[in-house]
Each structure stands twice: as C-alpha cells, then as structure tokens.
C-alpha cells in the first residue's frame, strides 16, 4: 500500500501541540525563525512543511518530529 503525506492532519497536530504548550502562532514563528503567516498556512494544511521545518517545529514544541507527521493511503480522499 502506498502512502501520501496528509498536510491537513499534520497541520492539526502542529496546532494541537502548539496550544498544549500555551504558545501563540507568533510565539512558534519566533521560535523557529519564520512568519506567523507561515505557521497559519501550515496549520490550515495549505502547505507541505520541509523535513527541516518539521524538525524545527518539533524542537520548539518539545515533541518528536514523528508525532507531527500524518500519512494516509494514497487512494483515500
């Protein structure tokens, strides 16, 4: 079975862990050196983060990078 990256669910996880840490989008953006708009775009599932981006976000949120990534079967919509 082939898998594809699920940006929408990954964005939801980023938001969940950010809120769990009591961080705003601006806090997370400052922590990883990007714009607040970039965090918004990721959390809404409108962009695929890079591997280094996921690593930076995970480090800022004190979680494992694998906790943020969501995969689904390729044929599932």
pLDDT tens digits for 28-70?
999 999 999 999 999 999 998 899 999 999 999 999 999 999 9
| pLDDT at 55 (0 to 100) | 96
| pLDDT at 77 (0 to 100) | 53
Residue found under tokens 């989008």: 25
Whole-structure pTM value: 0.88
What is the enclosing helix (H) or strand (E) of 3? strand 3-5
Backbone φ and ψ of 35, nearest 5° = -90, 155
Q: Where are the alpha helices (DSSP H) in 1-77?
A: 7-20, 25-32, 36-43, 51-61
| pLDDT at 76 (0 to 100) | 54
Q: Please say whether the beta carbons of 16 and 57 come within 8 A.
A: no
Q: Please say whether the beta carbons of 17 and 61 come within 8 A.
A: yes
């Amino acid at each position: 079975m082939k898998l594809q990256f699920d940006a929408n669910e990954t964005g939801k996880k980023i938001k969940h862990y950010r809120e769990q840490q009591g961080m705003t989008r601006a806090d997370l953006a400052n922590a990883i050196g990007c714009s607040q708009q970039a965090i918004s775009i990721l959390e809404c599932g409108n962009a695929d983060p890079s591997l280094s981006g996921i690593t930076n976000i995970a480090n800022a949120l004190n979680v494992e990078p694998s906790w943020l990534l969501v995969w689904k079967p390729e044929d599932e919509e």
